[in-house]
Structure 1
Amino acid sequence: MDFRIPVGDWIKAALTWIEDTFQWLFDALRQMFIWMFDAVDWVFATPPVWVVIVVIAIAALLARGWKFAAGAVVGLLFIVGVDQWENAVDSLALVIVAAFLAVVISIPLGIWAARNDKVSAIVKPIMDFLQTLPAFVYLVPAIFLFRIGVAPGIIATLIFAMAPGVRLTELGIRGVDKEVVEAGEAFGATPRRILRQIQIPLAMPSIMAGINQIIMLSLSMVVIAGLVGAGGLGGDVAQAISALNVGLGFEAGLSVVVLAILLDRFTASIGKGEGLYGRWTRRRKVQREADEQARLDARELETAGPRREPGTVV
């Protein structure tokens, strides 16, 4: 029995039509991705290595304390010691660009899905499809539409990493206590103000967990992106695989691990409010709440009018 569904032919024809019709758009997106990558890469590659390490160490000190700062310095010095600094900077730039674009798309989409059941019913199967499709498959249309280089690596990473951001954002918004939302509605707050001042702040731990997962998944695509000419640590890993160079593979792989630990700890500390910055933001929050309560008390006193002593004749 000779039975075959020509799905591949259909997809190839569809991609060919898309390329012929929207090539101008893909060329513009490719240039935008390259420009963003070059800008981020310039920020980390232009200053001397020791300046970048000192800045990251100070940020680590503010985020989690001196232990994390010391570990960050040791990890970065290891990357310098194995001569992988330039590749690590390239990989970091790719991860930052792809994760930024994924966050910009996934968080508003997750909020929309949380506030609209029809949108949620459409988005969920799409996210399931994106998460279950093998990561290498993303590279085929990415190369077809964006050609070899950084751009297909960014677009493949973006598609692969955005699903947890959408899911956890929707979960966080839907998990906000309905009584709190109803209290805001009772005080006359608009839906936009409820979202901005009640739902998003209460859902922030879940949203930050989604951002953390986006960054981790983006970093996991570094090696795969190296196969399409994105360079960085992924390029060295791909070269080590083709040449069976165990030493180079471990040097690049351990450098990826260092970047993964740094990015994971930074995003986790922001979500949990740890370190000096976290304590400062908590103090500001407490002060804002105290100021707001003082304003409410003053407003209640003005509404109640002057107090009268018992027995006073009006």
Structure 2
Amino acid sequence: MTIPRLPLGDWIEATINFLVENLSFLTKAFSEITENGLDWIEAGLKAIPEWLFIPLFALMAWRLTRNRGVGLFCFFGFLLIWSMDLWNATISTLALVLVSTLVSIAIGVPVGIFAAMSRPVYRLVMPILDVMQTMPAFVYLIPAIPFFGLGKVAAIFSTVVFAMPPSIRLTCLGIKQVPGELVECAEAFGSTRWQRLFKLELPMATPTIMAGVNQTVMLALSMVVIAAMIGARGLGGEVWKAIQRMQMGDGFEAGIGIVIVAIALDRILQKLGSRSKA
């Protein structure tokens, strides 16, 4: 016994083709703005010589975290990356992660705020986030190519879609966890909804929001290798190149570089989050 095949894939493909044809002006504008911004950030970071960038980054990490170990790790870790001749790839990865994180936060935090403020928005957004977080990462490369072609913009698009859910979820969670007694006190003193949001709820939700930012950065870094398949370059591109050429040593070196960058950013953001909680 057979049942009729549901042409779900055909419907999805037709929808994507329709959006590509009718939203090309938006995708071109997004591509131009994103690529220019990424090029400026990357050029600015590469303009700083390695011997100056490394101690400055380590000093910034130490000042932000007040932890000597984090500063020393950043110094010797990035020194190791320089010695492995992966500096330009690392700077490209940092620029990609920075742009992807900024776009993810710019979209995710407002959506999380509206989800916390509105029950219908919450009910609409949460199932979408469930699908986004359970979808295999490779699937996000499929719509990126017809919309933006191969290159860094497509990599940023797929990285943003993959990394954005934690910022939405934790922003919403942080606002919802504000004690009801404090909300009632704010209302008793005549605060408007927006005053209560900006003067009470967002400040108290900052540690949770920072945890979402931290997870967004980590997910963006985890997407680096996958996004290299559509032109992300950077350290992920080095790993992908090593896989294609069966150069195991080069692949592990690039992987170590990704680990160093991930640990450095994770420790800095964790300390910032704990400081905002204090």
TM-score normalised to structure 2 length: 0.96
1:74 maps to which of 68, 73, 76: 76
1:195-246 CA-partner distances (Å, limit 9, x unpaired)? 1111111111111100000000001000011110111011111111111111
| Structure 1 residues not aligned, in runs of 5+ | 283-314
Query: Identity over the aligned pairs, expressed in percent?
Result: 40
Using the TM superposition, name which of 13-22 and 93-102 deviates more: 13-22
CA RMSD of aligned residues (A): 1.4
Question: Which residue pairs with 1:209 in the alignment?
Answer: 211
| Aligned residue number for residue 136 of structure 1 | 138
Query: What is the aligned partner in structure 2 of residue 125 from structure 1?
Result: 127
Partner residue of 1:257? 259
Matches within 5 A, 1:221-236: 221-236=223-238
Q: Report matched runs for 1:149-164 at 5 Å.
A: 149-164=151-166
2:11 maps to 1:22 = no
Separation in structure 2 between the aligned mates of residue 8 and residue 137 of structure 1, nearest angstrom: 13
**CA deviation after TM superposition for structure 1 residue 2, in Å:** 6.8
The 3-state SS of whatever aligns with 1:185 is helix
The aligned counterpart of 1:36 is 37
Aligned to 1:302: none
Q: Which amino acid aligns with 2:220?
A: S
Larger mean CA deviation between 20-29 and 248-257 belongs to: 20-29
Give the distance between the partners of 1:42 and 1:265, measured in 2 at CA.
Answer: 26
- Which consecutive residues of structure 2, in runs of 5 or more, have no partner in the other structure? none
Q: Report SS of the residue matched to 1:124.
A: helix
The normalised TM-score by structure 1 is: 0.85
Give the secondary structure class of the aligned counterpart of 1:227: helix
- 1:100 matched to which residue of 2? 102
Instruction: Tell me the CA shift for residue 3 of structure 1.
Output: 3.3
Deviations 1:42-100 (A, max 9, x none): 12111111111122111111122222111110000010011111001001100000011
| DSSP-derived class of the 2:164 partner | helix
Aligned mate of 2:89, from 56, 69, 87 = 87
Q: How many residues align?
A: 276
Separation (CA, whole Å) in 2 of partners of 1:110 and 1:162: 11
Q: Letter of the aligned partner of 1:60 in structure 2?
A: A
